[in-house]
Amino acid sequence: MKYYGTKDNKNYGFYEENFENAIEITDAYWDYLLNSQSEGKRIIPYENSVIAADEAEYSFENGKWKKLNPEETETKKLQIQNEKRASQIRYELEKLDTKRIRAIAEPSQKDENTSWLDYYTAEVKKLRDELAQIS
């Protein structure tokens, strides 16, 4: 047997020993929860149980987990998707900034009509426009 809960009212986790307000789970269910977590689910206490939840389906409000309705879930999924894309864009912008610095220091042409600096600057503009749309 394993136990899930918090000893300090902040940090939740699995324990070998029982303690006040701990939720008892079987070793097989513990294994399932860990596998689910490795697949991107979040382990949360919900209605006196422990579940592996899709992050977009639950919200932590007033110290408790709440199951969202389908409309709220879709909104949260879009928010999560936008946050991930925004992070990717920031990473791509960082790489392009390095290339633009190099293009300033070592000017050359990408093709007959476009310098590398102009090309990278145009790519940065596209990414910044996309970032502005999802933010």
Residue 62: per-residue pLDDT: 87
d(CA 81, CA 62): 25
Q: Where are the domains of the chain?
A: 2-66, 70-134
Locate 94 and state its tokens.
């960082």
pLDDT(94) > 90: yes
Rounded to an integer, the average pLDDT of 26-30 is 95
> What rounded mean pLDDT belongs to the chain?
93
pLDDT 10s digits, 99-116: 999 999 888 899 999 999
Locate 73 and state its tokens.
């879930």
Q: Angle at the Cα of 15 (from 13 to 18), degrees rounded to 5?
A: 120
**pTM for the whole structure:** 0.66
pLDDT(55) > 90: no
Residue 100: per-residue pLDDT: 94
Secondary structure class of 1 (helix, strand, coil): coil
